[in-house]
Structure 1
Amino acid sequence: MIRENLAEVEEKICKACERAGRDRDEVTLIAVSKTKPISMIEEVLNAGIIEFGENKVQELTLKCEILPKKIHWHLIGHLQRNKVKYIIDQAYMIHSVDSLRLAQAISQEAVKKNVTASILIEVNVAMEESKYGVSIKEVLPLIEEVSKLPNLKINGLMTIAPFVENGEKNREIFKELKKLSVDIKTKNIDNVNMNVLSMGMTGDYEVAIEEGATHVRVGTGIFGERNYNID
């Protein structure tokens, strides 16, 4: 099932890139493996995917210990400051930085471990009360402050769009995030680039790609609907 699902997702990514006049290699597929067992992750890994997304620190660290070191683990869920130390040298990229205090905690732990943390600023474009992330108007002031912190690299922006049946409904949200990244790029802030635009999930990743996503986070589309306990 997983190989068939991956083939379908790959085909949709390719077609979305074609429609947008983009190269396929401009888009990174992150397999969202939260709650999925090791056996399923290994199946995806064997199909050539090395980018995996996790929501919870404990799950990421557990899987990181068990699975091959070549995997790039993306922390895509909300990160509490007191848990930063557990993932600072395990997360390939932290997508969910939404406050100066969290960025400071990441910076402090990165200095301790002598690593550079790659982070994205999470933007709540749709201003949903149930979602984390800063508002559009808060992004630039936050980036200007975070960019001064040691052992951090801001590599772009992330958003979690509303859950919709029709991905087309989120097109304006993706356009907004793309426009914001372009605006920030023109500021030429030290230690900041806007190479990564993490947006789009199973229901809307094709639209996100058409609007400039560089990283799409697909869970259900690869692993199926059911939740599984970790092996």
Structure 2
Amino acid sequence: MSLKANLQTIRAGIETACRRCGRDPRTVRLVAVSKTKPVSLIEEAAAAGQTLFGESYVQEFVAKAEAIALPLEWHFIGALQSNKVKYLRGHTALIHSVDRYSLAAEIDRQWASLEEPAAILIQVNIGEEASKSGTTAKELEELVRRVSLLPHLRIRGLMTLPPYCEDPEEVRPYFRSLRQLALTIEELKLPGVAMEELSMGMSHDFAVAIEEGATLVRVGTAIFGERERN
């Protein structure tokens, strides 16, 4: 199948999942995960109507953003080191992967010179896997309270990378847990904190994620094919 056809299939899947659970398809956005993919494929996806892309590696992201002269929306979705934050300043609409206060503080410092605050999601390691980044569910509230005091960023929601399961139904409890955590945080009514976004769901399980409240689904393989390993 062509890249355009792949995008059409994913969009149809999003609409079907939304209808199944009574949601407006416009409440779910597709993040095309373009990490390790060449500029030519991103431009091809853009020509097919895709405008939102997610990158995971800072240097690669910056190079692509500078090379592509199209009005695209870029999200940073990968693990982020504090010493790389400066390269993202002003180039990304949303950082999905804030998992510790020191990282949030550096984002706040780097965005201090910009008019608009940084929009971030707090990453939660919902399965408490040692191999994955993210704060724990138990530590989430304390982290959100601390980060909310930083003046140059806004917490827009939560993100998770749940344990991989072949059967998407086995992942549903993790998505449901993230949604419940978002509701708990929302009830705190903290300034600068709004649980508007839930970034969860990938190529094989995005439909279940949508049924459990995802507003951003991160799809790479089903659009671009298997990614190359660095």
What is the TM-score normalised by the length of structure 2?
A: 0.97
Contact 1:97 1:122 in 2 (8 A): yes
Partner Cα separation in structure 1 for residue 115 and residue 194 of structure 2: 21
Equivalent residue, structure 1, for 2:169:
168
In the alignment, does 2:64 pair up with 1:63? Answer: yes
Equivalent residue, structure 1, for 2:42:
41
**CA shift for structure 1 position 19:** 0.8
Partner Cα separation in structure 1 for residue 5 and residue 142 of structure 2: 44
**Percent of residue pairs identical:** 48
Equivalent residue, structure 2, for 1:51:
52
Amino acid in the other structure paired with 1:205: F
Aligned length: 229
Equivalent residue, structure 2, for 1:95:
96
Q: CA RMSD in A?
A: 1.2
Partner Cα separation in structure 1 for residue 189 and residue 227 of structure 2: 44
1:111-130 equivalent positions in 2, closer than 5 A? 111-130=112-131
Equivalent residue, structure 2, for 1:148:
149
Contact 2:158 2:195 in 1 (8 A): yes
Partner deviation per Cα, 1:136-155 (whole Å, 9 max, x = no partner): 01111101000000110100
Q: Secondary structure at the match of 1:78?
A: coil
Partner Cα separation in structure 1 for residue 140 and residue 21 of structure 2: 27
Partner Cα separation in structure 1 for residue 113 and residue 77 of structure 2: 23
Equivalent residue, structure 1, for 2:221:
220
In the alignment, does 2:18 pair up with 1:17? Answer: yes
Equivalent residue, structure 2, for 1:6:
7
In the alignment, does 2:133 pair up with 1:132? Answer: yes
Equivalent residue, structure 2, for 1:195:
196
**CA shift for structure 1 position 69:** 4.7
What is the TM-score normalised by the length of structure 1?
A: 0.96
Contact 1:37 1:228 in 2 (8 A): no
Contact 1:199 1:216 in 2 (8 A): yes
Contact 1:164 1:203 in 2 (8 A): no
Amino acid in the other structure paired with 1:150: P
Amino acid in the other structure paired with 1:217: R
Q: Secondary structure at the match of 1:202?
A: coil
Equivalent residue, structure 1, for 2:85:
84
Q: Secondary structure at the match of 1:29?
A: strand
Q: Name structure 1 gaps, 5 residues minimum.
A: none
**CA shift for structure 1 position 227:** 2.1
Q: Name structure 2 gaps, 5 residues minimum.
A: none
Partner Cα separation in structure 2 for residue 115 and residue 228 of structure 1: 35
Partner Cα separation in structure 1 for residue 106 and residue 49 of structure 2: 34
Contact 1:94 1:119 in 2 (8 A): yes
Contact 2:160 2:199 in 1 (8 A): yes
Q: Secondary structure at the match of 1:153?
A: strand
